[in-house]
Amino acid sequence: MGKRKTPVSKPNESERQASNPSSAALYKIIWRWHFYAGIIFAPFLIILAITGSVYLFKPQIEQALYRDYYTITPQVERITPSKLVGQVKELYPDATIMKYRPGESDSRSTEISLTSGGESMTVFMDPYTGDKIGELKDKDRIMDKIEEFHGELMVGTIGDRIVELAACWAIVLIFTGLFLWFPKNKNKSKKKRSLAGILYPRFGKGKQILRRDLHAVPAFWIAAGMLFLIMTGLPWSGLWGSNFQTVATNTGAGYPPSIWSGSAPSSHVVQTKEVAEVPWAAENLEVPNSTISDFTPLPIEDVMYVARSEGIHPSYTISIPQQADGVYTLSAYPPKAQDETTMHIDQYSGAVLADYRYDHYGFVGKAVALGITLHKGTQFGIVNQIFSLLICMGIILIVASGLYLWWKRKPDHGLGAPKAPAANAKKTRLFLLLLIAFGILFPLVGLSLIIVWIIDYVIVRRVPTIKNFLNA
């Protein structure tokens, strides 16, 4: 089939056009937005779907990659965590110890995270022998790279904003797409209502129809899943997500403070004059008073004792306080959202200053937390992973078939965009208002709309070549 010289109407469009001009205008404008948003964001959606598919299997991939670091032979006696930390300090004299992860089972190594010479790494230790098993630099963690790609296209904040923008526009794509897909029987013919081209593709009606069906039908099937992945991913985004989380936290509906936004409590520090700030490191070795210092920070053992008695999931990590009023933070993010914990412990007294479990999250926080474990595919294990993988595959399929559909319909010259209708029909205005409302709800979308309008106003309307090319 050769390329046509003029943009091709979608199948069935002409019927509608005849029956109701206002509906036809609405159909055209929605198609137009779907068309442009689709072409612009197609590459990003494919990137997100591919990196997402890989990241879904992070637990299995990391288990395979780092098996030698993770697995140890259980023995009868463990050496004390303090000694283990001491060992690491000897191996890395200039390092600052940041985290301590005891390990969730008898055959799991202990992980000590540190920064040394500006580099962050994890040192894997055998808690029975006290031997170092290996080290892994953060920058060498392949799954972190995938995550960075997925979350910010590996270019930091700008990438984060692009991903957020693509995700938001994907919502527009889903709804405009559903509108275009929605079966319309305006001509009230007594034809038998067929689900062909709606729930399953029409194979016998020519290539043009089949191409349309191969985009629209699978898109309908995965729309809900795709929307779910977008909505559960958005709370992570840098702009909309962090504002959303902060508002939720501040109103008591979200995560308690310090998990996403807000700060952790601080340890109780006694302000006594006679206690020097760093008495033990003082050059003067004389100790004039009995009081050498106030309370000393708890040894890791005691922190682990608190973790055990508070019933924290054994996969927890202890963040080591780096300041005098800092706290030990115990955090556990196991596969199921219901097992999550963030607990802040006074570094001197061991008092639990804040105990935030899933049950203590507000209803928005609970929804976001569940959304995250579902998005990452950990909540329901392998079933969850396969389900999410299918959605990702579906996204790749419909983005590709959408692009293919455009490519085949596209005339030799020009983009082949649907013609812009006059924006005066009531229904068309309603759609634009909806779009503006969406732009207010998602400021990045709003910003992109403003930019589109400025470009349209300043350039497109004044330069006939561009105007023709874009079919504006």
Q: Give the total of residues touching other proteins (CB under 8 A).
A: 64
From candidates 142, 154, 224, 287, binder to other proteins by CB under 8 A? 287
Binding status of residue 348 toward other proteins by CB under 8 A: yes
Least distance to other proteins from the beta carbon of 134, Å? 24
Identify whether the C-beta of residue 62 lies closer than 8 Å to the C-beta of residue 122.
Answer: no
* Shorter beta-carbon distance to other proteins: residue 50 or 239: 239
Amino acid letter, 355? D
Nearest-approach distance from CB 265 to other proteins, in angstroms: 7
| Greatest Cα-to-Cα distance within the chain, rounded to the nearest angstrom | 103
Q: In 3-state terms, what secondary structure has residue 292?
A: coil
**Residue 323 engages other proteins in binding (rule: CB under 8 A):** no
How far apart are alpha carbons 429 and 421 in whole angstroms?
A: 11
Map the footprint of other proteins across residues 38-67, applying CB under 8 A. Answer: none
The token pair that represents 398 in the structure block: 């419909």
Instruction: Compose the 122-151 pattern: x for residues touching other proteins by CB under 8 A, - for all others.
Output: ------------------------------
Dist. CA 185–CA 191, nearest whole Å: 10
Q: Which amino acid is at 127?
A: P
d(CA 125, CA 113): 11
Nearer to other proteins, 332 or 392 (CB): 332
Give least dist CB 242 to other proteins, A: 7
Sheet with 96-101: list strands edge to edge: 132-137, 119-125, 110-116, 96-101, 317-319, 327-332, 341-346, 352-357
Whether residue 406 contacts residue 39, with contact meaning beta carbons closer than 8 Å, is answered with yes
From residue 377 to residue 416, what is the string marking binding to other proteins with x (rule CB under 8 A)? ----------------------------------------
Binding of other proteins at residue 82 (CB under 8 A)?
Answer: yes
Query: What are residue 246's phi and psi, to 5 degrees?
Result: -65, -45
Tokens of residue 319, six digits = 């963040």
Q: How far is CA 332 from CA 144, 211, 222, 311, 362, in A?
A: 18, 48, 32, 11, 18
Q: Which is nearer to other proteins, 194 or 291 (CB)?
A: 291
CB-wise, 334 or 362, nearer to other proteins? 362
User: Which of 450, 455, 458, 463 contacts other proteins by CB under 8 A?
Assistant: 450
**17, 23, 71, 80: which one binds other proteins (CB under 8 A):** 80
Q: How many residues does the chain have?
A: 472
**Angle separating helix axes 156-181 and 426-441, nearest 10 degrees:** 150
- Minimum distance of other proteins from residue 410's CB (angstroms): 32
Residue 363 is a binding residue for other proteins (CB under 8 A): no
15 binds other proteins (CB under 8 A): no
Closer residue to other proteins (CB): 206 or 299: 299
215-274: contacts with other proteins (CB under 8 A): 239, 242-243, 246-247, 249-252, 256-257, 261-263, 265, 268, 270
222 vs 304, beta carbon nearer other proteins: 304
Query: Under DSSP, is residue 99 helix (H, G, I), strand (E, B) or coil?
Result: strand
298, 307, 368, 374: which one binds other proteins (CB under 8 A): 298
Residue 227 or 352: which CB sits closer to other proteins? Answer: 352
- The 3-state DSSP class for residue 215 equals helix
Helix axes 240-251, 363-376, angle to 10 degrees: 140
Nearest to 223 by CA among 7, 445, 397: 397
* CA–CA distances in Å: residue 354 to residues 258, 305, 413: 10, 16, 64
Q: Please select the residue that binds other proteins; options are 201, 346, 374, 418, rule is CB under 8 A.
A: 346
Residues that bind other proteins (CB under 8 A): 80, 82, 85-86, 239, 242-243, 246-247, 249-252, 256-257, 261-263, 265, 268, 270, 279-281, 285, 287, 289-296, 298-302, 304-306, 309, 346, 348-356, 360-362, 436, 439-440, 443, 446-447, 450, 453
